[in-house]
A and B are shown apart, each in its own frame.
Chain A
Amino acid sequence: MAPRSQLKRKASTAAAEAEAATFSDDEFGDGVLEGMLSDDSEDEENSDDEAEEVDGQDEDLDSDEVPSDEDIDEKDVDENDGPRYRVEKDANGGERYVYDEIDPVYDSDDSDAQDPENTIGNIPLKFYGKTIHHSWGLISLRIGYNIDGKKIMRPATGQALDALLDSIEIPQGWTGLTDPATGKPLNLSRDELELLRRVQMQEIPEEGYDPYPEYVPWFTHEEETMPISAAPEPKRRFLPSKHEQQRIMKIVRAIREGRIQPYKPPEEREQEEDEEEEMYDLWANEQAQPPHVMHIPAPKVAPPGFDLSYNPPPEYLPNKDEKKKWEETDPEEREKPYLPQGYDALRKVPAYDIFVKETFERYLSRSLPRPSCQENTLEYRSKLATSKTSPCRRVEAIPTVGAVEYNHGTRVRSVAIDPTGEWVASGGDDGAVKFWELRSGKQMASIRISADEPVNAVRWRPGSAILTAAAGQDVYFIIPPMLDQEVQQANRAALDTGFGYATNGKQATLTSNGARKDPPGTWARPGARLEDQGVLLKITVRADVKVINWHRRGDFFCTVSPTGQRSAVAIHTLSKHLTQIPFRKLPGLAQSAQFHPSRPLLFVALQRTIRVYDLQKQELVKAIQPGARWISSFDIHAASGDHLIVGSYDRRLLWHDLELSARPYKTMRFHPNAIRQVKYSRSFPLFADASDDGTIQLFHGRVHNDLMTDPTLVPLKQLKGHKVVSNLGVMDIDWHPTNPWLVSAGADGMCRLWA
């Protein structure tokens, strides 16, 4: 079969070849010769007569007894397309054949076009590198052809062992590449390696090339004592140059003929220039447009004052005390971020010392939502809160500064303000409970209730001034000495009524194997020494008590001993001297417990959940999942009873709406360290948390009566002042019952009143 491409080729080349092309591939072997012969004959005939061609074809017909289809086709083609040249007359009147332009279509065997490659899709087979598995079967790839037209096959690649050996003993110049031309591993010679190294080192590749050769001043104006040439000075050195003369005369001539304008007065020139240069105001017709809606103008920077000068007047320079004060204050709290400095000359001013830091921080603030500036965010938010547009603008009275300091001496673990708001009780590591006058800070009494155990919790009984203090496994009832006789008598009576019930003996129950079990709590007198100081009653429970919380009526209170396992939470009845353990088993370590302010519910905080129990029905009502890893404390909103704040050791402060869901309504993470205590104010829409970082954070938290309105939470202020001692900051806080005042207990041995 004669492919179409062959036909085309013949048609487009010289007509002389047309004859040879008439043979099909089948007769290729001897057809070549025949064609050559016929070529010759045809050439002769062509030179004589064109008409002979038909005969020639006839001869072809003769030679092929049975004309094939192709031949017929070819004839048709030739006839259809006609000759591929025009005959023109050349200059001598002779004939000249002008051939058409070759159109290198896809199939043309134009030698410029690349060989069609074997591809799989668009990818040449050589990219696969090796024999490939194809749906047609295994295809072994050739690399190319040698000069004899034999295929160069890809050399057999080494076995895995060879590859391993190669990789162990890396020969000099080993590249790990394969030479695409030979299929053999491509190794570089030493020279090539050296060349590559030079290129890599950005040296000049040529070896031994000296880019900076010593300059030899062969020709110099200096008169040498031993000149290279001893020839005398030539005469031309002393004669005026004819060439220069010619050039000058050329200019002179040009000036004479007026081709060069030698001089023009400047005004004239300016005038001309003015005419030429016409200015256009690009923005002449521009109209002022309103700024884009998203346009936020950059804040105006105050103009630099005298103190920013390099040499300010001496009154602007800080004296030693001011300098010290500036250096001691926190960088965030400084009034000015810089310290005015004076230099008597501008050249003595050193480089801007915090340039890098400042640039870095700017970059940070632009590119990252900075976790490091959460404090700033808080301040910004609190600024917002007190601004006029804020929803809680009516926050007027919040504790802002420390007003009174109570020096307890050792780490204070708990602090409480009495229900009248006149006294403060603090309990510390020294086992002493101290009473202070709230406003003056005068220590009124100090009662050492325990010699070795720290006082973990102090809480006042609601309604009357009896203090309960927990040290070790004991809970003590203290009547402070500041009260008047009448109140003291009443308090004594309240503490003593329970003795008539004598529940202590009866309460001891029998366990299953018949052994007598310890009662959950033993109520007794603490001993004469303490009784003289006003400590009138003592309960001993099974484990160390960490938390005390009273029921609002002042008859019940609950204690939590996290290590107490089964008896971790105990409810005590003062009027009956009765201790009960409400839970057989708790699904975790109890952290804190509190009575609901209005309903008969008990909230028990475990490590991760807060469980709400109905004490009347004796059932679990709700389990709240704050999502904190370890809850430290919680408080219930007194007015509504439906809101809860939870503080956790993993630095989170969570607000729960009990009606809404078991998940927190809001999570706030403003502290870098654990939160120890959270407390609602009883008389203001405020709450606060105490953290190990030594700060207290104040929040505005307004709860609306309308159930549809979400509570408003706004961070207000950070109270700083407690020192961090051995990673502990503020241990406990308590709100004043009527005023917006806050008392905090610090690990630094100080209690503070914030007002």
Chain B
Amino acid sequence: MASSTGASGEGQQIRVNFTTTLPDLQLPEDKSQLLVPGDIKRYGLSRVVNSEAMLNTDFSIPLDFLINGTFLRTSLEDYLKDNGLSAETTVTLQYVRSLVPPIYQASFEHDDWVADVDVLSSTSRAGLWAGNSLPQGQHRILSASYDGLLRIWNMSGQVIATSPSTSSKPFPSTDYVPAIKSAKFLDATRVASAGMDQTVRVWKYKEGSDKLSCDIKPTLELLGHTGGIESMDVHTPSSRILTASNTGEIGLWTTSASAAPDAPESALLQANPAKKRKVAVSSGVQKGALSMMQVHSGPVSAVVFHPEDSTAAYSAGQDHTIRTIDLTTSKVVNSMTTAHPLLSLCSVQGISTPLLAAGTSARHITLVDPRVSAITTSVMTLRGHRNFVTSICASPMDSYSLVSGSHDGTCRIWDLRSVRTGSKAEGGGSVSEAVYIIERESQKGQKKKSDIPGQGCKVFGVSWDKQWGIVSGGEDKQVQINKGSDLLAKEDGQ
């Protein structure tokens, strides 16, 4: 028997015992003991277990192997040597489904910093809202940039549409262009954007038959904010848009031109100043807000709809509070105070109860139970970022993971199931650490310029979709796409 596998000369055979906790991948009792060559590695072991004689699966399942609680990363022989174990003993190998790190896939180059990204696919939120009207395989990325333009990209990294410039310059000599801070797909053919020019725009775009170009036109211009808009959320079924402004106001808008009230006079005056300036395109119908709520005492950094109820919303502000707003009455229902200025917000399904994840300027993410009855507001703290956490997106696949983008130039993937008790220095409570860290591909191999983390590659927007993966945009003028599925271990029995 030794001669059959000992072709490599010094090939040593090691007796292994395969075990698993996965019920669907159990090996028959008599097959779990095996003699394997010593120089075998993870891939070889995985093939052995997947082979006909063993599991006999239809397609091979990548497996990882645990020896004494650690993953096998070298050859079996080397592992034994390193740990001073005898090759004569039987080694127990526990196999689990292999986790794939978020592999870098592509980068889409922009002219200026990318402020926000959104995706359209059959599994994304807008795609689900579009339902059947979304053509098969129409996967798009929408990016909002600091040069005041919206871009729509297809799968192969081509810009199929760039929005026309809409801004009018207050001072002709400055090169200042109001940035678009937030952009979202409404459905397969409509896009909403909002930015520093204090207006919300609804665009209609129609793809040409060649799928490589399309026509994008503003259909509706919503006026009424008196400060720059930092964040926006949309809910297509009820055709509502929520915006968060620097002045502490939250605006509720409708996307249907007929239902929207007229824009206030002052806003109209401002948008169409007395001096006639040539505007590149017709800006569409100008309308006002359904409701303008003064909610926060400081700038509002993020606002999101309640995941199930479109008449409720959550907002996070730099005044340290997260507020629950009833949109039908435009009243603040609940207000929760945290310890730090909040910069981003996202609702997460959570393991047992729905939670809100808020990114802070103190470099961590606070998970908050938004219910009024909740005793402790802060459920968990996700620590690891090294700068402002400016965007968060929940996983589309499961209820317990999320991705966050930060000014430190990384996106981090978090698993809410892995929890430890925080040390005293961390202020106690439950603390979790990132499972994966996605660095900016554009910064690879570049020298670090500054001691401030993420200088030159801050991440401003991140989005996670089942089909696109993790899409993030930032200061490096790139939208980076990383693989987003099979990142975390599945729940047992799934």
Contacts and interface: CB of A to CB of B under 8 A. Distances in A.
Given A420-B227, A420-B299, 12 more contacts: A397-B362, A403-B361, A422-B246, A422-B299, A437-B179, A441-B475, A484-B198, A488-B170, A533-B174, A739-B341, A755-B362, A755-B388
Contact of A534 (B171, B340, B363): B171
B170 A481 contact: yes
Interface string B219-251: 000000011100000000000000000110000
A323 interface: no
B196 A482 contact: yes
Interface stretch (A22-30, A173-181, A206-214, A442-450): A442-450
Given A403-B452, A440-B460, A397 B340 contact: yes
Interface string A116-133: 000000000000000000
Contacts of B298: 421, 738-739
A721 interface: yes
Contacts of A397: 339-340, 362
Given A402-B451, A403-B388, A485-B170, A442 B228 contact: no
B343 interface: yes
Interface in A232-284: none
Interface in B161-218: 169-176, 178-179, 196-198
Contacts of A447: 174
B228 A533 contact: no
Interface in B297-339: 298-299, 318-319, 339
Contacts of B452: 401-405, 721, 752
24 contacts: A401-B387, A401-B452, A402-B451, A402-B452, A404-B407, A420-B247, A421-B299, A439-B390, A440-B146, A441-B475, A442-B113, A445-B174, A447-B174, A482-B196, A484-B270, A485-B270, A532-B173, A532-B174, A533-B171, A533-B174, A739-B361, A741-B361, A750-B450, A755-B388
A486 interface: yes
Given A405-B450, A484-B226, A445 B299 contact: no
B266 interface: yes
A401 B178 CA distance: 29
B455 interface: yes
A331 B233 CA distance: 49
A54 to B, nearest CB: 117
Interface of B: 113, 115, 146, 169-176, 178-179, 196-198, 226-228, 246-247, 266, 269-271, 273, 298-299, 318-319, 339-341, 343, 361-363, 386-388, 390, 407, 450-452, 455, 458, 460, 475
A488 B362 CA distance: 34
Given A721-B452, A738-B318, A439 B173 contact: no
Contacts of A721: 451-452
Contact of B171 (A440, A532, A750): A532
A396 interface: yes
A506 interface: no
A-B CB proximity, top 4 nearest: A532-B173, A481-B176, A485-B270, A402-B452
A442 B174 CA distance: 15
Contacts of A401: 363, 386-387, 452
A405 B455 contact: yes
A529 interface: yes
A66 B175 CA distance: 145
Contacts of A533: 171, 173-174
A402 B458 CA distance: 13
Contacts of A441: 458, 475
Which of the listed residues A404, A421, A481, A529 has the most CB atoms from chain B within 10 Å of its own CB?
A481
Interface class of chain B by DSSP: loop
Given A404-B452, A422-B228, A439-B388, A482 B146 contact: no
A482 B176 contact: yes
A441 B390 CA distance: 13
Interface residues of A, number: 37
Contacts of B361: 403, 739, 741, 755
A441 B246 CA distance: 16
Contacts of A442: 113, 146, 179
Nearest to B247: A420
Interface in A199-231: none
A479 B452 CA distance: 31
Contacts of B113: 440, 442
A479 B173 CA distance: 13
A532 B146 CA distance: 22
Contacts of B228: 422, 482
A440 B176 contact: no
B407 A403 contact: yes
B171 A485 contact: no
Interface in A128-143: none
Nearest to A485: B270
B317 to A, nearest CB: 10
Contacts of A396: 339
Contacts of A738: 298, 318-319
A423 B121 CA distance: 37
B267 to A, nearest CB: 8
Nearest to A533: B173
A401, A403, A529, A741: most-surrounded residue (chain B CB, <10 A): A403
Interface string A721-739: 1000000000000000011
Contacts of B266: 486
In the complex, which of the residues A420, A444, A483, A485 has the most CB atoms of chain B within 10 Å of its own CB atom? Answer: A485
A485 B268 CA distance: 11
Contact of B174 (A405, A440, A481, A485): A481
A755 B226 CA distance: 27
Contacts of A421: 298-299, 318
A445 B175 contact: yes
B246 A420 contact: yes
Interface string A428-462: 00000000010111101101000000000000000
Given A484-B198, A484-B270, A738-B319, A445 B176 contact: yes
B448 to A, nearest CB: 11
Contacts of A532: 171-174
A489 to B, nearest CB: 8
Nearest to B115: A440
Greatest chain A CB density within 10 A among B170, B298, B386, B458 is at B170
Interface in A460-495: 479, 481-486, 488
Contacts of B455: 405
B362 A403 contact: no
Contacts of A481: 169-171, 174, 176
A484 B245 CA distance: 13
B187 to A, nearest CB: 29
B343 A439 contact: yes
B173 A485 contact: no
Contacts of A444: 176
A587 to B, nearest CB: 45
A77 to B, nearest CB: 101
A321 to B, nearest CB: 12
B435 to A, nearest CB: 23
B388 A739 contact: no
Contacts of B196: 482
A327 B230 CA distance: 43
A739 B360 CA distance: 12
A422 B226 CA distance: 14
Interface in A316-337: none
A527 to B, nearest CB: 12
Contacts of A529: 173
B458 A440 contact: yes
A422 B179 CA distance: 14
Contacts of A483: 170
A752 B407 CA distance: 14
A396 B339 CA distance: 8
Nearest to B113: A442
Interface string A1-21: 000000000000000000000
A752 to B, nearest CB: 7
